[in-house]
Amino acid sequence: MSDKGLLRLGIFGTVLAALCCFTPVLVILFGILGLASVVGYLDLVLLPVLAGFILLTIYALWRRNAA
């Protein structure tokens, strides 16, 4: 994958994960779908995903600046 593609993926994933972490988007969606029992486990998944996408964005920026 190119540096530009990695950067786009990292930024898109970071924004999406941040929206799901810090706003009740998934809580409302899961409530509508009848999956409210899963809401308690969202932090166990979303925070590591957010950290991973932030690291991917930093890596893509590092590779872009090194080239």
- What does the pLDDT look like over 1-60, one tens digit per residue? 787 899 999 999 999 999 888 888 888 888 999 998 988 888 899 999 999 999 999 999
Range of the domain at 14: 3-66
Rounded Cα gap, residues 48 and 66, in angstroms:
27
Residue 25: DSSP 8-state: H
The number of distinct structural domains making up the chain is 1
pTM score: 0.84
Who wins on pLDDT, 41 or 67? 41
List the end-to-end C-alpha distance of the chain, in Å, as a whole number.
Answer: 15
Rounded Cα gap, residues 24 and 47, in angstroms:
14
Please name the residue that has the structure tokens 């994960």: 17
Q: How far is Cα of residue 29 from the mean position of the Cα atoms in its chain?
A: 17
